[in-house]
Amino acid sequence: MTKVLTVVGARPQFIKAAAVSRALAQNYAASLTEVIVHTGQHYDSNMSQVFFDELGIPEPAYNLEISGGSHGAMTGRMLEGIERVMLSESPDFVLIYGDTNSTLAGALAAAKLNIPVAHVEAGLRSFNMRMPEEVNRIVADRVSNMLFCPTDAAVRNLANEGILRGVSNVGDVMYDVSLFYSKIAAERSEIFDKLDLSERNYVLATCHRAENTDDPDRMRSIAMALGMLAKDVPVVLPLHPRTRQIVAERGLLTALGTVRVVEPLSFLDMIRLEQSARLILTDSGGVQKEAFFYGVPCVTMRDETEWVETVAAGWNVLVGANLDKLLVAVREAKTPKERPAVYGDGHAAEKILAQLVQR
């Protein structure tokens, strides 16, 4: 029996891990066993527990309850805690997801203990080294033994860096998730009634990246753009607790005007809003992709993106955080006729597990 230790800590990782955990339980329970470690990076119930409940992820065997503090302090505490777990569990593989501090800590702890690392969503690059996520994903890829890429572009990025061994394009586990949960969300979510919304008659916005929230000018520009947009169409803005605090401290609630600022949403509620929005504005990598999966035009409030395929296909527009550019992009947003199948066939999780079993 091969033991896989899965390290997660943030809501995008819970979503990705759900696809793999479900496939493992359904098809590989006789050959693989999974131990889940939750670092606690997202600790709020709306950011964490509700995802485990709705996605049907097994309860974590360990919750390190590590959150807050600087990047270095958080990662250091995670590294120490994860190392203790690995020494106790002696896994055959450590499975990490994405590009958070939890990802970095899991990768480093495993590498220092000579435990093979499998990185889901390997090879992504924004080419912006000021982003903490870019540093995390580069380091994680460097120490990984199995690199599961979501796209051909990710494979090429690794090849350009001289990483060729253990690399495979399995498709995107987020696409697996979108296919599985889209109908469930439409049936179970009651968010439309709660917010008094109707199909294609609102804009969904998210903002949490440090490059925006930590820059007063960018954050003010985004708040003003959303506030102006809300004069013409309902705008729903689920806010991460940290972003909400920043908005309040900088006096930006007035700029937001009639924007409907809500608490972080459950997974199914978020999917429901993504599916039926007229337009999505975001700085989230996951939300960019989900907009593409659901056929909703997206305006990305960043200067670069890892998900270049969405831009190339015309479904996503990069505009940064300039007020005028944001408003123009929203006004000119269009729905392309085609969505190329660039993120796999919806069976990424099964392909990942098949390779783990073979090793």
pLDDT tens-digit series, residues 129-139 = 988 999 999 99
Do 166 and 45 lie in one domain? The reply is yes
Average pLDDT over residues 4-26: 92
Average pLDDT over residues 304-315: 95
Q: Is residue 105 part of a domain?
A: yes
**CA dist list (Å): 151 to 118, 136, 157, 206, 280:** 16, 19, 10, 24, 23
Do 103 and 217 lie in one domain? The reply is no
> CB-based burial of residue 87 (10 Å sphere; 0-12 exposed, 13-18 middle, 19+ buried)?
exposed
Domains of the chain: total: 2
Do 159 and 16 lie in one domain? The reply is yes
Q: Is residue 244 part of a domain?
A: yes
Q: 21 in helix, strand or coil?
A: helix
* pLDDT tens per residue, range 30-85: 999 999 999 988 655 454 566 667 777 778 999 998 987 888 999 999 999 999 99
Q: Is residue 278 part of a domain?
A: yes
Q: Is residue 338 part of a domain?
A: no
Partners of 5 in the β-ladder: 35, 94
Q: Is residue 337 part of a domain?
A: no
The tokens for 197 are 């919304």
Do 275 and 133 lie in one domain? The reply is no
Partners of 260 in the β-ladder: 236
The mean of the pLDDT values for the chain is: 93
Do 292 and 354 lie in one domain? The reply is no
Do 328 and 348 lie in one domain? The reply is no
- Percent of the residues in the chain that have a pLDDT greater than 90, as a whole number: 84
Q: Is residue 8 part of a domain?
A: yes
Active site residue 71: no
Q: Is residue 320 part of a domain?
A: yes
Do 42 and 133 lie in one domain? The reply is yes
Do 113 and 38 lie in one domain? The reply is yes
pLDDT of residue 359: 81
CATH number, domain of 313, equals 3.40.50.2000
Q: Is residue 339 part of a domain?
A: no
Q: Which residues lie below 8 Å from residue 45, measured CB to CB, with a gap of 6+? A: none
Do 229 and 144 lie in one domain? The reply is no
Tally of CB atoms within 10 A around 182: 18
Contact 111, 134 (CB under 8 A): no
* pLDDT tens per residue, range 238-267: 998 889 999 999 999 999 999 999 998 988
Long-range contacts of 141-146 (CB under 8 A, 24+ apart): 143/107, 143/108, 143/110, 143/111, 143/117, 144/96, 144/107, 144/117, 144/118, 144/119, 145/116, 145/117, 145/118, 146/93, 146/116, 146/117, 146/118, 146/119, 146/355, 146/356, 146/359
Which residue of the set 38, 42, 119, 208 is catalytic?
208
pLDDT of residue 53: 74
Partners of 317 in the β-ladder: 299
Residue 269 structural domain: 181-332
Do 157 and 190 lie in one domain? The reply is no
* pLDDT tens per residue, range 163-206: 999 999 999 999 999 999 899 999 999 999 999 999 999 999 99
Do 167 and 22 lie in one domain? The reply is yes
Lowest mean pLDDT among 45-59, 62-76, 102-116, 214-228: 45-59
Do 352 and 271 lie in one domain? The reply is no
Q: What pTM does this model have?
A: 0.89
